[in-house]
Chains A and B, each alone.
Chain A
Amino acid sequence: MTANRHKLAMHDLGGVAPFADRPIDRREHALSHFDKSVDALMYLLSHPSRRLIRVDELRRAIESLPAAKYHGLSYYEKWLQAMHDLLVEKGVLGKDEIAARLAALRAAGAKP
């Protein structure tokens, strides 16, 4: 099997153990407001009128997450982390700017 000879990319999951041996967790999950917000953010950023992040870039940034985050974060947490990384990479937002806004929100005791 090719899978034994090659080091596969983390997201290239077709037929890959241990996932291929697991039952599928079929429970339904209602989307949270956070999930919908992150989905909407990506839609707005990728819209042809802005094209600040392409879906291909989002995929690449998700695949570039450390394995612990790729398999540990929720689906839309991964999207948000990847969008954050891309906005910084492209200079749309500054790392310091984001850190400052987070600090201000925390100082104000903000509830998300």
Chain B
Amino acid sequence: MTPAASARFRPGDRVRVRDAWPEEGGRRVHIRTPHFVRGRVGEVERVLGAFANPEDLAFGKPGLPPQPLYHVRFSQPELWPGGGRTDTLTVDIYESWLEAPR
């Protein structure tokens, strides 16, 4: 882990997780962004630092440069029908998976 000097997002920013499905492309991939947050909007809680990209490390590549990693918090109803209104879910998500909400 190194400090994320060039993080694009800050705590409090609204972000959308890309609605991307690389596992459907027929290529071998290793994805650390759970399916149920893709396409969903959450809020950056914390910038966790920069980490080598696990999507590359998984195939023996260096995964550099390190990529900013964020805590992104979602409200449960944003993710699941019937999710508890007061309840939330936090996931660590790499910057390449995040975009500004439309």
A12: chain B residues within 8 A (beta carbon): 23, 31, 34-35
| Given known A-B contacts A6-B21, A8-B23, A59-B30, A90 and B60 have beta carbons under 8 A apart | yes
**How many residue pairs bridge A and B at CB < 8 Å?**
47
Question: How long is the Cα–Cα vector from A15 to B38 in the complex, in angstroms?
Answer: 13
Closest to A12 in B: B35
Are B58 and A2 within 8 A (Cβ)?
no
Within 8 A of A (CB), among B7-42: 19, 21, 23-24, 28, 30-31, 34-36, 38-39
Whether a CB of chain B sits under 8 angstroms from the CB of A84 is no
Q: How far is the CB of B37 from chain A (nearest CB, A)?
A: 9
Question: How long is the Cα–Cα vector from A60 to B30 in the complex, in angstroms?
Answer: 6
Question: How long is the Cα–Cα vector from A64 to B23 in the complex, in angstroms?
Answer: 12
Question: How long is the Cα–Cα vector from A9 to B55 in the complex, in angstroms?
Answer: 14
B19: chain A residues within 8 A (beta carbon): 2
| Given known A-B contacts A8-B23, A9-B23, A15-B80, A60 and B38 have beta carbons under 8 A apart | no
Are A57 and B58 within 8 A (Cβ)?
yes
Whether a CB of chain B sits under 8 angstroms from the CB of A23 is no
| Given known A-B contacts A56-B30, A60-B30, A64-B28, A6 and B35 have beta carbons under 8 A apart | yes
Whether a CB of chain A sits under 8 angstroms from the CB of B54 is yes
Question: How long is the Cα–Cα vector from A7 to B26 in the complex, in angstroms?
Answer: 11
Q: Which B residues contact A (CB, under 8 angstroms)?
A: 19, 21, 23-24, 28, 30-31, 34-36, 38-39, 54, 57-60, 80
- Contacts A/B (CB < 8 Å), 14 sampled: A2-B39, A3-B36, A7-B23, A8-B23, A8-B35, A9-B23, A9-B35, A14-B35, A54-B57, A57-B57, A57-B58, A57-B60, A59-B54, A60-B30
